[in-house]
Amino acid sequence: SRILLTGANGFLGAHILRQLLPRPGVFVRAVVRSQAKVEAVTQDFSGFSNIDFAIVPDITAPQAFDDALSKTDVPFDAVIHTASPFLYSAVTGNRDFLDPAVKGTTEMLKAVQAVAPSVKRVVITSSFAAVGDLAHMDKMAGSRYTEADWNPVTWEEALAGDMNTAYQGSKKFAEEAAWKFVEEEKPGFDIVTLCPPMIYGPLEHTVTKTSDLNQSTARIYYFFMAGKADAPLPEDSLYLYADPREVATAHISALYTPEASNQRFIICAGQVPSQSISDILRARFPELEERTPMGKPGVSSLSGEPYSASSEKAEKVLGIKFRPLEETVIDLGKQLLAIEKAE
């Protein structure tokens, strides 16, 4: 099958490539923003010849994706759209989150409808940020979130609020726009949306400086590996997680599973209290003894009735199985220490 993948140079995009490219019969066109990114992806996936590139410098531009989708000898079967702003350091205002997220999604859907009638499915990376009311964590206590839940943030709040609210709004309004498009246009393709919480786990793209880490990985590095043993544990705010390997598998399964048609899925491995991350890192890596907040080893740092999320639907329909947390944290910890040593 022939697949168009946006955000191919990103943290998640690289995991999707790592799992897609070895599949027989697959050809991927990777969409990135610049030639430098074409080169980075080419290097990371140099063993594969079943990939080519399209450069789309501005995904909010009208007809942004028309050429990427139509200039091809073999028509596309499917699209995976992961590109969306998440790196806070790359954003200067709330619009920088909202516009690329929403317009990037709607431009993709419009382009598929206009120039790529062969595409039968578009898989869209949404987020748990579109599900839970993360700006009001007090209201989330005790809830077990499912695919029926939506973050109640309004457009005005997303525009005027802090960067977290802008990001949460960007994911919600992008996903909402996609569902609205399908409902109103009844296009010749269906969509699948995937809602992972924080994605923690090893990298499949080359990062040579810790300052270049993606948002969720940077959270682990700076909060758990670059502090002090007697510093307070990082606050347990974003403690639901998924491993990028399973999130990537979910995207691929979403491409090929007929029953996933027009469905939304939460992709969540479970809760990860800050204490657990610290305990695993401290037990496995002696060099972190002085740098990883110790907290109270073995005592869960989640208090009250911590919210949770159900991944039953993803397990059942997409066949996703989640690996143990230890593996996720150790695989990432090893890699981050190696990046740090080499920089």
Asked if 274 touches ligand NDP (CB under 6 A), the answer is no
309/254 Cα distance (integer angstroms): 19
What radius of gyration, in Å, describes the C-alpha atoms of the chain?
Answer: 20
30/50 Cα distance (integer angstroms): 11
3-state helix, strand, coil split of the chain in percent (to 5) is 45, 15, 40
Q: Are 155 and 176 in contact (CB under 8 A)?
A: no
Measured from the CB atom, the residue of 84 and 292 that comes closer to ligand NDP is: 84
Dihedral sign, Cα of residue 175, residue 129, residue 131, residue 126: positive
Asked if 11 touches ligand NDP (CB under 6 A), the answer is yes
When binding is defined by CB under 6 A, the residue of 5, 7, 201, 233 that contacts ligand NDP is: 7
Which range in 8-16, 107-115, 185-193, 223-231 contacts ligand NDP by CB under 6 A?
8-16
In the chain, what is the straight-line distance between the N-terminal and C-terminal CA atoms, in Å?
39
Show the binding pattern over residues 121-160: x = contacts ligand NDP (CB under 6 A), - = does not.
Answer: ----x-x---------------------------------
Which range in 150-158, 195-203, 254-262, 332-340 contacts ligand NDP by CB under 6 A?
195-203
Which residue do the tokens 């499917």 mark? 78
When binding is defined by CB under 6 A, the residue of 69, 82, 246, 278 that contacts ligand NDP is: 82
Q: Are 158 and 151 in contact (CB under 8 A)?
A: no
Asked if 84 touches ligand NDP (CB under 6 A), the answer is yes
Minimum CB–partner distance for residue 296 and ligand NDP (Å): 26
145/129 Cα distance (integer angstroms): 11
Asked if 13 touches ligand NDP (CB under 6 A), the answer is yes
- Residues of the shown chain interacting with ligand NDP in the complex, contacts defined by CB under 6 A: 7, 9-13, 33, 37, 59, 82-87, 100, 125, 127, 171, 196, 198-199, 214-216
